[in-house]
Structure 1
Amino acid sequence: MAIDSSGTGSGTVSQLRDTITALRGLDTINRINPTADDPDRIRTEDSVRVSDTATPDPRVLEQQELDTIRQGLSDASAAGNVALAGSQAVSGTLDEIGTRLQQLTDTSLSQDRRTALAAEIDTLVRQGLETVDQASFNGVNLLDAERNENLEVVADREGNTETVRDQTLRPALENLQTLNLETAEGAQSAIDGVFADARTATDIAVRQLTEDNGRIGERLTAIQDRQTELAGADLAVDPGLDSEGAQQTAQQLASQLQQALGDQNSLGIVNTRPETLIGLFR
């Protein structure tokens, strides 16, 4: 789902924003507000068979513990996927910056062309910083280490944890705002220096977030499998408490964000609609 940089794109952006809003509003475990006055809400007595004795069924207790763990993992998965989509979008922006820097190493460029390319690079850098600012989920921004530390969540009933590592993309991008591109030598120096640093930081972010999201996904799958076992053990629990669905929703969101933010092969989206990126992640 790419944003049409030549049109208003309002329908696509609206649809994307609705997806983000829907994901934020999900109760990724029960999907239902237990306090809401909703006649369609699954009631506790309908979803879990309560023993006539005073001793609770240990399988019911395990289901409840797994629900809580799955909630945290699902939230971490969503935050991690949004951060991954943002870092991939920044990587695409750096591709565009690198192309222009390479052009600036041509000693035969006219001064007007050199000035125009430098202006485009400045616009792209600001776009990358804007992506970092907006790549947050439920107030968690994993692309700006000054905002959040690593996101750590309980991953099993033994108390073991999984972590989605935060990344530091802002300083690397900010350093690209101080480039001296008046000469071919200055452009080459930028390619070998601050641009290479920004590329390294972004590549690390994409790799680490991919790894972390993979581990979170494996943990969610393990809990899903265990809950399916419990649900089949003559427990009147709702097997529809589907964390996999929440994870798929987060992955779908990441894909949409990547396509929308990654569709920056030209400066049209920046020059004509800078407000498009604002609010995509909020």
Structure 2
Amino acid sequence: MPYNSVNTNVGAMVALQNLNATNSDLAMVQNRINTGKKVANAKDNGAVWAIAQNQRAASGSLNAVRDSLQRSQSTVDVAIAGGETVSDLLLQMKEKALAASDTSLDTASRTALNEDFMALRDQVSKAVSNASFNGVNMLDGSQVGGPVTIAALADESGQSKLTVMAQDMSLGTPGSAVTILATDSIGTQTAAAAMITTIGTSIANVSTALSKLGTGSKSLGNHLTFINKLQDSIDAGVGNLVDADLAKESARLTSLQTKQQLGVQALSIANQMPQSIMSLFRS
């Protein structure tokens, strides 16, 4: 190896190699600090990047699941509000029917009670038809296709669904929880007496239907809470894979900057070595 040569400066070559390595490490650390990630793209670590991308896809899909659950829960809650209104109206209707069943009641009073009863009956239909959210009504059996059963997304695959059954509360439709017809009245004592039993059955049916809707809404809420936690856990897992430890990178940056300065000095010294050969030719 030529130790004293102007053609080949081994010291400068080694110093340059080390300086280039330091600059490369420094660029990598600066990139981590700028992006906040130790794996910002597939070149940094292909396997980890691929895993992180798959988990990001799962987390993004859970946004759609959460939206579906929230929308479904709102629809069920609106149905519950409508059903509770129907239940309250039925209680008032039973009171009117009971009062009208009194044989000692005069005609004017019976007529007034019957008008109140029919007004309450019509309000039941209005409450049911208005209990819709985003165009979905779980109570109205008179609409085309009948009341709508909710089937919310339960996972990112789209295969699992969380179902809440529709509860028909329309007047006069087959299978409705409300057994009162849209034309029923309590205009006579006999009709009023018979209506007491009919309304009692309707109240019991509506209470059962509301219980089912309430259970369904609670299930949607519980699953929504789980999805939120699951998404947070996935996001945290992705962060563990790709996020940089900025405190550690800051310390490494300081070290590499010092090493870079020393490398520049070492290269400068190595470049001056051939000039020392000139002293051998002085007289």
Question: TM-score if structure 2 supplies the norm length?
Answer: 0.61
Counterpart secondary structure, 1:171 = coil
C-alpha deviations, 1:147-166, integer Å up to 9, x for none? 44311122124532111211
**Do the aligned partners of residues 58 and 51 (structure 1) sit closer, same or farther apart at CA in structure 2, a change above 3 Å counting?**
farther
Among 114, 139, 151, the alignment partner of 2:110 is 114
C-alpha deviations, 1:65-98, integer Å up to 9, x for none? 2111111111101101101111011111111111
Counterpart secondary structure, 1:175 = coil
**Do the aligned partners of residues 90 and 49 (structure 1) sit closer, same or farther apart at CA in structure 2, a change above 3 Å counting?**
farther
Tell me, yes or no, if the aligned pair for 1:136 and 1:142 is still in contact at 8 Å. Answer: yes
Q: Quick one: distance in 1 between partners of 2:134 and 2:95?
A: 35
Q: Quick one: distance in 2 between partners of 1:86 and 1:201?
A: 14
Match of 1:156 in 2: 155
Q: Quick one: distance in 2 between partners of 1:49 and 1:74?
A: 35
Match of 1:136 in 2: 132
Among 207, 211, 224, the alignment partner of 1:207 is 211
**Do the aligned partners of residues 177 and 110 (structure 1) sit closer, same or farther apart at CA in structure 2, a change above 3 Å counting?**
farther
Tell me, yes or no, if the aligned pair for 1:91 and 1:202 is still in contact at 8 Å. Answer: yes
Match of 1:36 in 2: none
Match of 2:29 in 1: none
**Aligned-pair identity (%):** 25
Q: Quick one: distance in 1 between partners of 2:124 and 2:171?
A: 11
Tell me, yes or no, if the aligned pair for 2:136 and 2:148 is still in contact at 8 Å. Answer: no
Q: Which segment drifts farther, 58-67 or 179-188?
A: 179-188
Deviation at 1:49, TM superposition (A): 11
Which amino acid is the alignment partner of residue 167 of structure 1?
A: Q
Q: Quick one: distance in 2 between partners of 1:62 and 1:191?
A: 55
Counterpart secondary structure, 1:178 = coil
Q: Does 1:69 align with 2:65?
A: yes
Match of 2:93 in 1: 97
Counterpart secondary structure, 2:171 = helix
Q: Quick one: distance in 2 between partners of 1:122 and 1:174?
A: 15
Counterpart secondary structure, 2:151 = strand
Counterpart secondary structure, 1:57 = helix
**Do the aligned partners of residues 205 and 52 (structure 1) sit closer, same or farther apart at CA in structure 2, a change above 3 Å counting?**
same
Q: CA RMSD in A?
A: 2.6
Tell me, yes or no, if the aligned pair for 1:84 and 1:209 is still in contact at 8 Å. Answer: yes
Q: Which segment drifts farther, 167-176 or 143-152?
A: 167-176
Which amino acid is the alignment partner of residue 149 of structure 1?
A: V
Tell me, yes or no, if the aligned pair for 1:83 and 1:136 is still in contact at 8 Å. Answer: yes
Q: Quick one: distance in 1 between partners of 2:56 and 2:62?
A: 10
Matches within 5 A, 1:188-199: 188-193=193-198, 195-199=199-203
Tell me, yes or no, if the aligned pair for 1:51 and 1:57 is still in contact at 8 Å. Answer: no
Match of 2:41 in 1: 52
Q: Quick one: distance in 1 between partners of 2:196 and 2:98?
A: 8
Match of 1:249 in 2: none
Which amino acid is the alignment partner of residue 182 of structure 1?
A: G
Which amino acid is the alignment partner of residue 114 of structure 2?
A: A
Matches within 5 A, 1:255-274: none
Tell me, yes or no, if the aligned pair for 1:107 and 1:183 is still in contact at 8 Å. Answer: no
Q: Structure 2, unaligned stretches of length 5 or more? A: 1-34, 43-48, 173-177, 241-283
Counterpart secondary structure, 1:96 = helix
Give the helix-richer structure, 1 or 2.
2
Q: Structure 1, unaligned stretches of length 5 or more? A: 1-45, 237-282
Deviation at 1:186, TM superposition (A): 2.0
Which amino acid is the alignment partner of residue 209 of structure 2?
A: A
For this pair of structures, how many residues does the alignment match? 189
**Do the aligned partners of residues 74 and 50 (structure 1) sit closer, same or farther apart at CA in structure 2, a change above 3 Å counting?**
farther
Tell me, yes or no, if the aligned pair for 1:144 and 1:166 is still in contact at 8 Å. Answer: no
**Do the aligned partners of residues 234 and 61 (structure 1) sit closer, same or farther apart at CA in structure 2, a change above 3 Å counting?**
closer
Larger radius of gyration: 2
